[in-house]
Amino acid sequence: MTSIANDAAAGWFSPQNRKETIAGLLFIAPALIGFAVFVAGPMAATVVLSLMKYDLFSNPSFVGLANFEAMLDDRRLWKVLGNTAFFAVFAVAGNVGLGVVLAVLLNRNMSKTVQYAYRAAYFFPSLVGLIFVAVIWQFLFQRDIGVINYYLGLVGIEPVRWLSSARNALWSVIILDIWKNVGFAMLIATAGLQSISKDYYDAARVDGSSSLRTFWQITLPLLSPTILFLLTMNTIGAFKVFESIVVLTNGGPGDASRSLVMYIYEQGFKSFNMGYASAISLLLLTITVIGTAIQFALSKRWAFYE
Amino acid sequence: MISRLRTALVYVVLGLGALVMVAPFLWMFTTSFRPVAEAFTLPPRWLPGLGSSLESYRRLLSSDVPIGRFFWNSTVLATTVTLGYVATTTIAGYAFARLRFPFKNALFALLLVSLMVPIQTTLVPLFLLMRWLGLVDSQWSIIVPGLTGAFAPGMSGVFGIFLMRQFFLTLPKELFEAARVDNAGHFRTFWSIAVPLAGPQIAALSVIIFTTTWNDYFMPLVFLNSVDQMVLPVGIMSIRDPVGNSSATSEVIAAVSLSILPVLLVFLVAQRWIIDSFVRAGVKG
């Protein structure tokens, strides 16, 4: 049967291929232009700006690597970086850990309606705007009129300073983040679980394996690609934490809960140190790129495929 | 016996967890219906009962907070961005999946790079660009990037392209070959064959983009500053008094309740479909 499809040997703009080539390029043109103007261009501009001093009102001036040198000595930068990393570790561990556990617990024989009801309940917080739920949680976390401390008080625990204590502030943000996002992690983990062949479980049952052992030695390894995916996606997302902290504590007390993105925003749009803000942005970009690279490398090596 | 106990335990744990998920929303809705003076008295009420009042809503609506305007802005923005973004990424996804043209793979790899560039890192130049274009404080500053499929609030552009491309790759080649025999143009093939088949996928993508745009705070914070351009998340933050002065607080509670209501209603009606949309995207993403 003669091929009616595009014949590569004839070249992209030969009479029979021309229309397809043009159509293809046209179809992707808006996306490419958008990418160039709104992603690649600004990316290049960030690099250029990071070498400048620019405060929006006077002309930008070239300062070479001065911004980067300043970053090394900037105590606040190291503080917010530490906060962000701390948040990332615990929020991601909580999210993914709890998400997987919930997925396993929910993945049993039960009426479909009940199962979907549970899924809906766990997933709903993910859908609601972070700003809105953060406002609600800020009320719940209040020391004196907050609902959480009320119930803790009923079992004899002293009122906790969730938002006003430097020690607790980040933990409150972590709790909010886990509460909001565990549903989504659970859904992804469920999809992963459902792709594991039942044969493994049947074999384990025949061998008389306890369910805890089955979990550790069969479920977890086979779920590892999904878990890896969740870990990296969540970590990259966690480094960008912004809204929840702005609402709950506004970075405080002091800088106790301030995040990297909050600091970038402050430098760029409150202090108008646009060059410096760009330099810090490059730090965030580096972290994101490393994270993605790690995910890519690990997924090739470590994940246990059937 | 042990296993029955264990099953019961699992259900208790799951049930408690579900309660924790839902409790904050119950609290918020109930509090919005309590008379303002008692709204925060303890012990907390979880369900509205006797003595409910619409006082906090009345206060909100009679205050000078333009909550209607916020709703309108959010709706317009989310709808426009969704339409534009879905259109652009669908057609681009189709091209990457089904058409042949030079540099196809290299270009796709290039677009994938954008997944690694969070908008927080390009914020400053983007702001300067919008300022130069005179688009600051106009919804176009967010719509235009969305329209071109560069990014939507909270979502990188190539996500949509990736999703649609994955879908189109699963369609059998024969469908398109048949159209070619009839000498249909490429756009006609796309429009009359590919798009109808992609219905569910397009719908799923739309749900995701609409939701993330509706909820986004960061982009509107930077680009939409004046009060009558504000969208709901930014608007609510603007009326919130951080110190917790109780008179403004009841307006905030009412406003947040109203903001969550649309999502809640849609979710109650279509939750299976919404959940499936997010799973479909998350698994492929």
Report which of B175, B182, B227 is spatially closest to residue B198, judged by C-alpha positions: B175
B213 contacts on A by Cβ (under 8 Å) = none
Domain shared by B101 and B43, yes or no: no
**pLDDT one-digit tens code per residue, B196-206:** 888 888 998 99
Residue B166: its pLDDT value, please? Answer: 87
Statement to judge: residues B25 and B102 lie in one domain: no
Residues in B closer than 8 angstroms to A136, CB to CB, are: 24-25, 27-28, 256
Residues A131 and A42 both lie in one domain: no
Q: Is residue A62 part of a domain?
A: no
B15 inside domain? yes
Q: What kind and span of H or E run contains A121? A: helix A112-127
Number of structural domains (chain A) is 2
Q: How far is CA A136 from the centre of its chain?
A: 22
Is residue B202 less than 8 Å (CB to CB) from chain A?
A: no
Residue of A nearest to B44 (CA): A147
**Residue B207 pLDDT > 80:** yes
Compute the mean pLDDT over every residue in chain B, rounded to the nearest whole number.
85
Phi, psi dihedrals of residue A39, rounded to the nearest 5°: -120, -60
- When pLDDT is cut at 50, 70 and 90, the band that residue A1 belongs to is very low
Residue from B246, B259, B275 whose CB has the most chain A CBs within 10 Å, to mutate: B275
Q: Are residues A140 and A218 in the same domain?
A: yes
A60 occurs within a structural domain: no
The answer to whether position B218 is within a domain reads yes
Same domain, B102 and B43: no
Report residue A126 as tokens: 């993910």
Cβ B282–A135 below 8 Å, yes or no? no
Q: Are residues A272 and A123 in the same domain?
A: yes
Q: How many residues does chain B have?
A: 285
Residues A290 and A230 grouped into a single domain = yes
* The most confident of A159-168, A169-178, A292-301, B176-185, by mean pLDDT: A169-178
Q: Would you call B122 and A31 a contact, using CB atoms and an 8 Å cutoff?
A: no
Nearest CB to B126; choose among A8, A42, A122: A42
Q: Is residue A1 part of a domain?
A: no
The maximal CA–CA distance of chain B, rounded, in angstroms, is: 74
**In which region does residue B140 sit, left (phi positive, over 0), alpha (psi from -120 to 50) or beta (all else)?**
alpha
Do B45 and B78 lie in one domain? The reply is no
Say if residue B85 is in the same domain as residue B187: yes
CATH number at residue B99: 1.10.3720.10
- Is B263 a member of any domain? no
What's residue A42's pLDDT?
A: 92
Paired sense of beta strands B151-152 and A52-53, if any: unpaired
| Count of pairs with CB atoms under 8 A, one residue in A, one in B | 273
| Residue B239 lies inside a defined structural domain of this protein | no
Dist CA A3 CA B118 (whole Å) = 44
Q: What does the alpha-carbon distance between residue A74 and residue B93 come to, in Å, rounded to a whole number?
A: 44
Q: Which chain B residues are within 8 Å of A189, Cβ to Cβ? A: none
What's the domain range around B42? Answer: 1-53
Per-residue model confidence as pLDDT tens digits over A222-278: 888 888 888 888 988 899 999 999 999 988 888 999 999 999 999 999 999 999 999
Residues A103 and A242 in one domain: yes
Q: How close is the nearest chain B Cα to the Cα of A265, in Å? A: 8
Q: Nearest-CA distance from A284 to chain B in Å?
A: 7
Classify residue A127: in a domain, yes or no.
Answer: yes
Pair (B90, B133) in one structural domain: yes
Nearest CA in chain A to B255: A132
Find out whether B11 and A102 touch, Cβ atoms under 8 Å: no
The shortest C-alpha distance from B155 to chain A (Å) reads 11
Q: How far apart (Å, rounded) are the C-alpha atoms in residues B60 and B249?
A: 10
Q: What number of residues does chain A have?
A: 306
Q: Which residue in chain A is spatially nearest to B186 when comparing CA positions?
A: A23
How far CA A190 is from CA of A55, A181, B268, in Å, comes to 49, 14, 21
DSSP summary character for residue B152: E
Is residue B118 a contact partner of residue B157, using CB atoms and an 8 Å limit? no
Out of A31, A132, A265, the one facing B157 most closely (by C-beta) is A31
For A27, which of B91, B215, B218 is closest by C-beta distance? B91
CA Rg value for chain B: 23
Q: What is the pLDDT of residue B247?
A: 54
Task: Indicate whether B122 belongs to any domain.
Answer: yes
Which CA distances in Å does B71 have to A182, B210, B234?
A: 28, 14, 11
- The yes-or-no verdict on residue B248 having pLDDT over 50 is yes
Question: End of a domain among B228, B248, B279?
Answer: B228
Residues B39-66 pLDDT 10s: 888 888 888 877 788 888 888 888 888 8
> Which range of residues forms the domain containing residue A80?
67-301
Six-digit token pair at A121?
């309940």
Higher-scoring residue by pLDDT: A195, A230: A230
Choose the closest CB to A27 out of B99, B110, B118: B99
Confidence of residue A3 (pLDDT cuts 50, 70, 90): very low
Q: What is the number of structural domains in chain B?
A: 2
Are residues A43 and A131 both part of a single domain? Answer: no
**Any chain A CB within 8 A of the CB of B96?**
yes
Cβ neighbours of B40 in A, within 8 Å: 139, 145
Q: Report the predicted TM-score, pTM, of the whole model to 2 decimal places.
A: 0.88
Residue B242 pLDDT:
54
Q: Please tell me the predicted confidence (pLDDT) of residue A4.
A: 44
The answer to whether residues A32 and A73 belong to one domain is no
| Mean pLDDT of the region A49-55 | 90
A136 and B279 in contact by Cβ < 8 A? Answer: no
Rounded mean pLDDT, B136-162? 83
List all residues of chain B from 62 to 91 with a beta carbon under 8 Å from chain A: 88-89, 91
Q: Output the six-digit token pair for B80.
A: 């426009």
Give the CATH number of the domain where residue A85 resides.
1.10.3720.10
Statement: residue A100 has pLDDT above 90 = yes
The mean predicted confidence, pLDDT, of chain A is 87
Under an 8 A CB cutoff, do A37 and B150 touch?
Answer: yes
| A208 reaches B (C-beta below 8 A) | no
The three state secondary structure string of A39-68 is: HHHHHHHHHHHCCEECCCCCCCEECCCHHH
B37: in domain = yes
| Within a domain: B254 | no
Helix (H, G, I), strand (E, B) or coil at B271: helix
Residues B144 and B97 in one domain: yes
Q: Is A55 inside a domain boundary?
A: no
Domain boundary among B182, B207, B228: B228
Q: Which has the closest alpha carbon to B248: B60, B87, B71, B94?
A: B60
What 3-state class would DSSP assign to A172? helix
Please tell me whether residues A88 and A12 are part of one structural domain: no
Of residues B17, B88, B264, nearest to A102 (C-beta): B17
Which of A230, A190, A219 lies closest to A91 in space, CA to CA? A230
Q: Which of residues 122-141 of A touch B (CB under 8 A)?
A: 122-133, 135-137, 139-140
Residue B241 has pLDDT above 70, yes or no: no
* A200-212 average pLDDT score: 79
Residues B100 and B9 in one domain: no
Q: What pLDDT score does A2 carry?
A: 42
Distance from CA of B149 to the nearest CA of A (A): 5
Check residue A306 and give its pLDDT.
Answer: 38
Residue at B248 is within a domain:
no
Six-digit token pair at A90? 């615990």
Tokens representing A195 are: 């792709």
Task: For residue B154, give both structure tokens.
Answer: 């909270």
Using a CB-CB cut-off of 8 Å, the residues of chain A touching B31 are: 139
**CA–CA gap between residue B138 and residue B226 (Å, rounded):** 9
Three-state DSSP state, A272: coil
Q: What is the mean pLDDT of residues B232-244?
A: 77
Residue A136 lies in a domain: yes
Which positions in chain A touch B129 (Cβ < 8 Å)? Answer: 37-38, 41-42, 45
Q: What CA–CA distance (Å, rounded) separates A5 from B83?
A: 32
pLDDT at B156 > cutoff 80: no
**ipTM confidence:** 0.87
Cis peptide before A30 (omega within 30 of 0): no
